Structure 1
Amino acid sequence: MTKRRVIAWGTGAIGMPGLRQLIEHPEYELVGLHAWSKDKVGRDAGEIAGVQKATGVIATDDVSQLLALRADCLVYQGNYADREAQCTADVVPFLEVGTNCVTPALMDLIAPRYGRREFVDPIEAACRKGGASIFCGGTDPGFMTIGHLFSLLSGAGQVECVNVAEVCDLSKYAGVDSMALYGFNMPLDFLPEMYTGDTGRAWHESTLWAIGEYLGVQLDEITSSWETAGLDYDFEAAFGTIKAGDTAAIRWTMTGMYKGRPLVIYRKIERVHRDAGPQFEQPLHNAEGGYQITITGSPSFHTEMAMNLYDGCAITALHPINAIGRICDAAPGIYGQLDLPIFYSKNVIR
């Protein structure tokens, strides 16, 4: 079996578990690593990832070196929060030289028809120029709202309502840019960028439009509400010190209406303390995170998935990584998950 030659970009909370899996994966050969942090540049990828072997791949911040590798695929795991233009500019040169890309970051590509054109159009043009393909996955939006959801819908009959909820305790998550988008540590009546701006519409409301489309209908409208909760004492989270009375939990409910009834309900329940927002949905088995999906109709059924924070970050990285073979074999263009044949891990522990 010929291994796919891959470059990894990003060594943060999402990138690190992805890097570890790439190093150990029987189908992929890591040939390049981009590191942003100066203390990682010049170090072996195995040392950075904390695995017990050297890889011979030395981290660099020189993009021209990575482009010259002409790898089969770039695994792009950069931070997309407030960096959409920069992330788009990062991947375009690789696509233009024919290097395919998988990523959990460029969320305007989750449902590209509903993504912001200023980020989708340059990527489409780069795919055409280089004859390359790109796929954006992750957890939510991504696997949970498309792959997992539609595997459940394969057993459904008449569908009255689809209800999807992400429930996470993010007290150990230190992604400052991402957390700020949700308004943590702000007054309870503060409405943050994720709710009021283009970011939330591109990342999450687009998911509802796409689910409606996949179900074969055009939603009439999406309504939205934002709820917050705090605690009556200060506490420390990885994000920073959260002040008493400020936002420590949020519940964002988006409802896709069809012919006067809710067809798709999509919730984000995020906390930075386990006790914040007890009235909001709670993860299964008191886990750090999880996903709840309810299909109402004939038949009706409910599923829940529980995980810790590290495993949730790993799934975010591995969902697109598992698509590398499919995306390398695909015709040029942007692919959603339902545009690809089924993909899954073949990395069996030996």
Structure 2
Amino acid sequence: MKKRVVVWGTGPIGMPGLRGLIDHPEYELVGLLAWAPEKVGRDAGDIAGRQKTGVIATNNPADLLALKPDCLVYQGNYSHREAECVADVIPFLEAGINVVGPALMDLIAPDFGRPEFVDPIAKACEKGNSSIFCGGTDPGYMTIGHLFSLLSGAGAVDSVDVCEISNLNGYSSFLSIMNWGFNQPLDYRAPMFYDDIGKGWHESTIWGIAQYLGVELDEIVQTYETAALDHDYDAAWGKGLANTIAATRWTMKGMYKGQPLIIYRKVERCHTDAGPEFEQPLNGAECGYQVIIKGDPNIHTEMALSLYDGCSITALHPINAINEVCAAKPGILGQLDMPHFWTRNVRR
């Protein structure tokens, strides 16, 4: 029997998630929440550019709860809205409705997430006998699922190096762009690197990788580099300004016995010419991921993606886990708490 699913959110990440759920062979879309006035009252298929579904978008969360679905796909924007997002999902979990999604980043490695956001969710799962899983790309699939698939064939490990490389010129969320510091002076202390966001999303990922490797890190150290262009440029999020941040490279190193064991880099740019000395995606793609394991044997992998495909993976990774989450024990599920899962949406 198909799992009955409701969706919350239709932004740059949520939209490909919604498209992936329409006519999915294993899931039945029964409800949709959208905040934009121009989307409320419209058919989910019209919003997603697909065939009509009979599911009409609402802006009232109570409407989704009343449907008593098996699972909520929560795709809200988490940055600077952590407490609000936690409050959004708690009523569903307390009602016995499972939750998956690419937001709620503190749950990626729940043992190291910020307690003020992890603990209320854990209590809601206990109350409702429900489960929740947060996935995505980075942190998420690239830093856990993909990485640990490679580690299953590794031997003695000297270091693990994961790098995200993205050209965000076509990304329309200005709030996310501001987190990275784009359009700010080159010495600007960007929230993603210096505020609690970075700790909640990315430091916890490094601690989690170390935990999976069976070691306890000494400390995490970081460097933050920026680059500018000498001219203005156009982007989906607005006008990029000359002589301001147009590319960043953030490097975090988990130190073990005085040496870097886990290197985690995020290279973000808003123009192809910005930061040419920083890592570039494979084959001139908009986005890419590098995972390098040094040891015996050495392993080097690279993945090339369009920006849209990267957003799609972010949404579809947790969506592909819905059946397993619904069958899992109650509570917060880290990725390695899950059996292997994959898409079964075969298109003819």
1:304 alignment partner in structure 2: 302
> Given that residues 160 and 297 in structure 1 are in contact (C-alpha distance below 8 angstroms), is that contact kept between their aligned partners in structure 2?
yes
Q: Indicate whether 1:330 and 2:328 are aligned.
A: yes
1:227 alignment partner in structure 2: 225
2:17 alignment partner in structure 1: 18
Q: CA deviation at 1:24?
A: 2.2
2:7 alignment partner in structure 1: 8
Alignment of 1:108-187 (within 5 A): 108-187=106-185
What CA distance in whole angstroms lies between the structure 1 residues aligned with 2:322 and 2:48? 20
What CA distance in whole angstroms lies between the structure 2 residues aligned with 1:225 and 1:337? 28
2:193 alignment partner in structure 1: 195
1:252 alignment partner in structure 2: 250
Q: For 1:57, which of 49, 55, 58 is the aligned residue?
A: 55
1:44 alignment partner in structure 2: 43
Give the AA of the match of 2:19: R
What CA distance in whole angstroms lies between the structure 1 residues aligned with 2:57 and 2:32? 5
TM-score normalised according to structure 2 size: 0.99
What CA distance in whole angstroms lies between the structure 2 residues aligned with 1:282 and 1:91? 37
What CA distance in whole angstroms lies between the structure 1 residues aligned with 2:308 and 2:338? 27
Structure 1 residues not aligned, in runs of 5+: none
Q: CA deviation at 1:274?
A: 0.4
Q: CA deviation at 1:112?
A: 0.9
What CA distance in whole angstroms lies between the structure 1 residues aligned with 2:343 and 2:62? 31
Secondary structure at the residue paired with 1:171? helix
Q: What do the CA deviations read for 1:138-165 (whole angstroms, capped 9, x no partner)?
A: 0000000000000000010000000000
Give the AA of the match of 1:312: G
What CA distance in whole angstroms lies between the structure 2 residues aligned with 1:244 and 1:132? 50
Structure 2 residues not aligned, in runs of 5+: none
Secondary structure at the residue paired with 1:143? helix
Secondary structure at the residue paired with 2:245? coil
What CA distance in whole angstroms lies between the structure 2 residues aligned with 1:24 and 1:277? 42
TM-score normalised according to structure 1 size: 0.99
Q: CA deviation at 1:239?
A: 2.1
CA RMSD of aligned residues (A): 0.7
Q: CA deviation at 1:279?
A: 0.4
Give the AA of the match of 1:26: P
What CA distance in whole angstroms lies between the structure 1 residues aligned with 2:214 and 2:112? 16
2:86 alignment partner in structure 1: 88
> Given that residues 82 and 177 in structure 1 are in contact (C-alpha distance below 8 angstroms), is that contact kept between their aligned partners in structure 2?
no
What CA distance in whole angstroms lies between the structure 2 residues aligned with 1:348 and 1:63? 31
Give the AA of the match of 1:41: V
Secondary structure at the residue paired with 2:170? coil
Q: CA deviation at 1:195?
A: 1.2
What CA distance in whole angstroms lies between the structure 2 residues aligned with 1:183 and 1:29? 40
What CA distance in whole angstroms lies between the structure 2 residues aligned with 1:220 and 1:239? 39
Q: What do the CA deviations read for 1:262-317 (whole angstroms, capped 9, x no partner)?
A: 10000000000000000000000000000001000000020000000000000000
Structure 1 runs (4+) deviating above 2 angstroms are none
Q: What do the CA deviations read for 1:186-208 (whole angstroms, capped 9, x no partner)?
A: 01011111111110011011111
1:66 alignment partner in structure 2: 64
What CA distance in whole angstroms lies between the structure 1 residues aligned with 2:38 and 2:83? 25
What CA distance in whole angstroms lies between the structure 2 residues aligned with 1:222 and 1:143? 22
Alignment of 1:198-209 (within 5 A): 198-209=196-207
What CA distance in whole angstroms lies between the structure 2 residues aligned with 1:244 and 1:148? 37
What CA distance in whole angstroms lies between the structure 2 residues aligned with 1:329 and 1:58? 28
Identity of aligned residues (%): 65
Secondary structure at the residue paired with 1:279? coil
Give the AA of the match of 1:296: K
> Given that residues 233 and 245 in structure 1 are in contact (C-alpha distance below 8 angstroms), is that contact kept between their aligned partners in structure 2?
yes
What CA distance in whole angstroms lies between the structure 2 residues aligned with 1:35 and 1:143? 26
